[in-house]
Structure 1
């Protein structure tokens, strides 16, 4: 699994590290923030995982 980028949720401000894994088969899925906002969607021979690195003061 390789580090892809750091992403901030546009709804609550939580910061996430996004990791990418290449697959041999297609995968269609998405990652959501704890607040429910979609961080990333994909439809291809990849899969993503995330790790919360900074919880915003504004998140509930």
Structure 2
């Protein structure tokens, strides 16, 4: 599974970072999403990645197989 982030769509709410700071961060300059681990492994991280995608208010995150 791969995390895809669209920084141009991101509104900088930080919900992804709150969901899983091991997978996501925010850029210093614009506050937009930065993916720290684009291909997470393990059930917990995959579940957190899905949760972050679902919670993103701008729909800037998606998952690809």
Q: Determine if the TM-score, normalized by the shorter chain, exceeds 0.5.
A: no
TM-score where L is the length of structure 2: 0.31
| More strand, by proportion | 1
| More helix, by proportion | 2
TM-score where L is the length of structure 1: 0.33
